Chains A and B, each alone.
Chain A
C-alpha cells in the first residue's frame, strides 16, 4: 500500500487544483451575478435571479454530468486533445457554474449587511451605481462575507469529489480504485482519505474565521 502513496498524493493534488481553479472562476462569476442582482436594470436582475434559482436547485451531480457528457460528448466542446484533461476542464466548468450561484447569494447577503447610510451617502456625493458598488458597498460587503465564503470554499473542496461522476481521478475516485485493489484494507484506506480531506478543509475554516475577525469593518 505504501507503493500507492504517489497515486494518493497525485489524486489529492488534483483535488486541490480542481478546488482552486473552480474557486477562482466561481468567485468572479458569483461577484458579477451579485452585481447584476442589485443593478438598476430589470433584465440583468431577472437573468441573474433565474441563473441562481436554476443552479441552486439542481443537484451538482446533474450539473457535472451535463457538462461532461452533454457538453463534452454530445456537443463536442473540447479544450484539449487529451480526453482526461478535457473532462477536467468540463468538471471545472460545472463546479464553478454551480458554486457561483452560492457565491452570489453569499455576496448579496453581505451587501445587505452594509448600512443603508453608506449607500445613501455615496449617492449624495453623486456616485453612480457602478461607483457606489465598486468603491463603497462591495469592499464592505466582501469583508462581511469572508467567513461565509470560507464555508463555500470548504463545500467546494468536498464537492470536487463529484467530478468522479465523469471519471476525473481526483481523491474519491482514487479511493474507490484502492478499495478495489486492497479489499482487506478498506477501513484504513477510508480513514486515510478522510484525514486527507480534514487536512484540506479544517485549516480553511480556521484561516477564514481569523481573516473575518481581522478584516471586520469596525462599526
Chain B
C-alpha cells in the first residue's frame, strides 16, 4: 500500500522512528492500563489460569463443549449447503410458482436475525407441533435457515456470473434445461463459488455461539458458565475460548484462501458473497 506515501528520506526515516516509538509507547500504555485493571481485580492469580493446565478440565469441561459446537456446525453445514443449492437454483427457475416462493423464503430468512429464528424453533416447536425441541435442534434450525439462504444467494450469483454463451451452447447442442444446469452450469459455478461457500461456513461456525443464549452446551457455554462456576475465572476462561474459536476459524479461512488461489489458476472467476461483507 505504499502508493499512499513516499519512500521516506533520511529526515522522514528519523521522524518515522520517533513516531513509531511514540505510538508503541501509547499502545503499550493502553495495554498497561488494561493489565493494571485486570491485576487490581486479581485476574492474573495463578488459581484462575491453572485449570487450563489440567487434563481433566479439558477432558470433562472444555472438550465436550467444543464437540457440541463442532457437531452443531457440521450438522447445520451438511443441511445448509444442499438447502442453498436447491433454493439458489429454484430462484433461477423459469416457472414463477417455483421462483417466487423460493425468493420469498431466501429474502425473508436473510433479513431477520438468526436469534429470533432460534427462539421461534424453541418455542414454536413445542407450542405448535407439540414436540420437545432440544437447544441443539433449535440452534441447527436457525443456522440452516439463515446460512442456507445466504448460500442460496451465493449459488445464484455463481450461476448467473457464468457467460450466457454456456447456456446457449448447451441448449443448442440439444441438452434439456435440467441437463444444461447439471452438466454445464453447476460444475463451473461450483468451482467459482467454493471460496465464498467456505467463508460462509466460518460465519456458521461463529454463529453456533448464539446457542449460549438458549443454554446449548457449546464451547462458549463451557467458557462463560461451566468453568466460572467451578473456578470463578470468567475472564481467563472467555479469553481461552476466544483463542480456540480464533484458531478454528483461521484454519477454516485458510482453506478458503487456498481454494481461492486454486480457483484463480483455473479459468473460473471466484464469485464474491452476495453482500461483500456477508461474513458478519
- Which of A53, A137, A152, A183 sits near B280, CB closer than 8 Å? A152
Interfacial residues of chain B within 193-227, with CB under 8 A of chain A in the complex: 202, 206-210, 212-213, 220, 223-224
Q: Is B171 close to A, CB under 8 A? A: no
Question: Closest B-chain residue to A38, C-beta based?
Answer: B1
Question: Closest A-chain residue to B28, C-beta based?
Answer: A43
Q: Is B46 close to A, CB under 8 A? A: no
Rounded to whole angstroms, the CA-CA distance of A129 and B210 in the bound complex is: 42
User: Is A105's CB under 8 angstroms from B277's CB?
Assistant: yes
Rounded to whole angstroms, the CA-CA distance of A184 and B123 in the bound complex is: 10
Q: Is A33 close to B, CB under 8 A? A: no
- Which of B208, B213, B245 sits near A164, CB closer than 8 Å? B213
* Interfacial chain B residues near A128, Cβ < 8 Å: 5
Known contacts A62-B220, A65-B238; A194/B108 CB under 8 A:
yes
User: Is A47's CB under 8 angstroms from B27's CB?
Assistant: yes
* Interfacial chain B residues near A190, Cβ < 8 Å: 116, 119-120, 124
CB distance from B4 to the nearest CB of A (A): 5
Q: Is B241 close to A, CB under 8 A? A: yes
User: Is B242's CB under 8 angstroms from A73's CB?
Assistant: no
User: Is A66's CB under 8 angstroms from B238's CB?
Assistant: yes
Total number of residue pairs linking A and B with CB closer than 8 Å: 180
Chief secondary structure at chain B's binding surface: helix
User: Is B112's CB under 8 angstroms from A59's CB?
Assistant: no
CB distance from B52 to the nearest CB of A (A): 16
- Partner-binding segment picked from A1-9, A80-88, A197-205: A197-205
* Interfacial chain B residues near A164, Cβ < 8 Å: 115, 213
Known contacts A69-B234, A162-B210; A151/B115 CB under 8 A:
no
Q: How many residues of B contact A (CB 8 A)?
A: 58
Known contacts A70-B235, A172-B113; A137/B4 CB under 8 A:
yes
Q: Is B59 close to A, CB under 8 A? A: no
User: Is A74's CB under 8 angstroms from B6's CB?
Assistant: no
* Interfacial chain B residues near A132, Cβ < 8 Å: 4-5
For B24, B209, B241, the residue with the greatest tally of chain A CB atoms inside 10 Å of its CB is B209
Q: Is B41 close to A, CB under 8 A? A: yes
Known contacts A69-B224, A148-B275; A76/B41 CB under 8 A:
yes
* Interfacial chain A residues near B116, Cβ < 8 Å: 161, 171-172, 175, 190, 193-194, 197
Rounded to whole angstroms, the CA-CA distance of A175 and B116 in the bound complex is: 8
- Beyond the given pairs A99-B280, A155-B278, A187-B128, 6 more chain A to chain B contacts, judged by CB atoms under 8 angstroms and listed by A's residue number, are A133-B4, A147-B276, A151-B277, A151-B278, A158-B113, A183-B123
A interface residues, Cβ below 8 angstroms from B = 38, 40-44, 47, 53-54, 56-62, 65-66, 69-70, 73-76, 99, 102, 105-106, 109, 111, 116, 119-120, 123, 128-129, 132-133, 137, 147-148, 151-152, 154-156, 158-159, 161-162, 164-165, 171-172, 175-176, 179-180, 183-184, 186-187, 190, 193-194, 197-198, 201-202
